[in-house]
Amino acid sequence: MPQIKAFFDDKTSTVTYLVWDPETRDAAIIDPVLDYEPHAARLTTASVDAILETARDLGLKVVWALDTHAHADHLSATHHIHEVTGARVGIGARITEVQRVFSSMFHATDVCPNGGAFDELFDDGQTFALGDLTVRVMHTPGHTPACVTYIIDDAAFVGDTLFMPDYGTARADFPGGDAATLYRSIQRILDLPPETRVFVGHDYLPTGRDHPAWETTVAEQRAANVHVHEGVDEDAFVAMRKARDATLGAPRLILPSLQVNIRGGAMPPPEEDGQVYLKIPVNRLGV
């Protein structure tokens, strides 16, 4: 059984997971966050450094830095983890589709849409080792083309595909997103054994709940997810998701996040003056 410790980032409502094999002490960090203050364009690593300090205190060796997808709501700290620990950076193989769209949007000529910013591109069904544990990768697109779920024993880390049952599901209106595809991906998760623990990537505190939560089960999702509980068919879900998405604005950090996250959490290269710049393409996003 994997050991799991969750870290909730209040600014982005993101949950980062430190997961380890209790026998070998090899560890992975899933969906880590860089601290970015957009008004001053100030970047720090305090949040992820606190997780790395916890890993050291527990005697863990961080060997994987994993993203479930190219996030649109926070900058990924996977590259920082790689620099500090030597951990390999992994993501789903369809990140190349996301790179293709957004390298063009940001005129990121240093980004080749071949996944080269990552150490490992995981195919659907691929497995890899975390110490003596086996991690299975399930492609769960819909929110983005590149979304994956990492399954370790009885634990499934679903990223943004599912949220807590009282909040529902991810939006599907980003470039390459699709509500019908999202529904089918969710059904793959809900086909896991009912006792499977589901660890979500965000918690946005719906009305009626005042404390963040991030762990549920497949059985609870089937019974009570407000968007996709048993009895909700694909047509009904797609109609709901499209109507809901039409009311949503763009995430606050979408533009800085995507141009960093298609680079595996690395910053764009410095320009001639030695300064790193993030670009704001005007009227290009369409969300």
Full domain range(s) for residue 102: 3-260
C-alpha 16/C-alpha 25 separation (Å) is 18
**Percent of the chain scoring above 70 in pLDDT:** 99
**Per-residue pLDDT band at 283 (split at 50, 70, 90):** confident
Residue 274 falls inside a structural domain: no
Query: Taking 80 as the threshold, does the pLDDT of residue 287 lie above it?
Result: no
Compute CA 27 distance to the chain's CA centroid, rounded to the nearest angstrom: 17
Residue 285 falls inside a structural domain: no
**Residue 189 DSSP symbol:** H
Q: Is 211 exposed, middle or buried (0-12, 13-18, 19+ CB in 10 A)?
A: exposed
Q: pLDDT tens digits, residue range 182-241?
A: 999 999 999 999 999 999 999 999 988 999 999 999 999 999 999 999 999 999 999 999
Residue 98 falls inside a structural domain: yes
Residue 280 falls inside a structural domain: no
Q: pLDDT tens digits, residue range 69-114?
A: 999 999 999 999 999 999 999 999 999 999 999 999 999 989 988 8
Residue 99 falls inside a structural domain: yes
* Domain containing residue 100: CATH number: 3.60.15.10
Residue 282 falls inside a structural domain: no
Residue 80 falls inside a structural domain: yes
What is the average pLDDT value for the chain, to the nearest integer? Answer: 96
Q: In what order do the strands lie in the sheet with 33-37?
A: 42-44, 33-37, 75-76
Query: Taking 90 as the threshold, does the pLDDT of residue 270 lie above it?
Result: yes
Residue 270 falls inside a structural domain: no
User: 127-134: long-range contacts (C-beta < 8 A, 24 or more apart)?
Assistant: 128/64, 128/90, 130/2, 130/19, 130/20, 130/21, 130/26, 130/27, 130/28, 130/63, 130/64, 131/20, 131/21, 131/23, 131/24, 131/25, 131/26, 131/63, 132/21, 132/23, 132/24, 133/2, 133/21
Query: Taking 80 as the threshold, does the pLDDT of residue 52 lie above it?
Result: yes
Q: What is the mean pLDDT of residues 134-148?
A: 98
Please list, residue by residue across 94-106, b when 16 or more beta carbons sit within 10 angstroms of its beta carbon and e when fewer do: bbbbbbbbbbebb
The pLDDT of residue 285: 80
Query: Taking 80 as the threshold, does the pLDDT of residue 286 lie above it?
Result: no
Q: pLDDT tens digits, residue range 6-24?
A: 999 999 999 999 999 999 9
Number of domains composing the chain: 1
The pLDDT of residue 110: 92
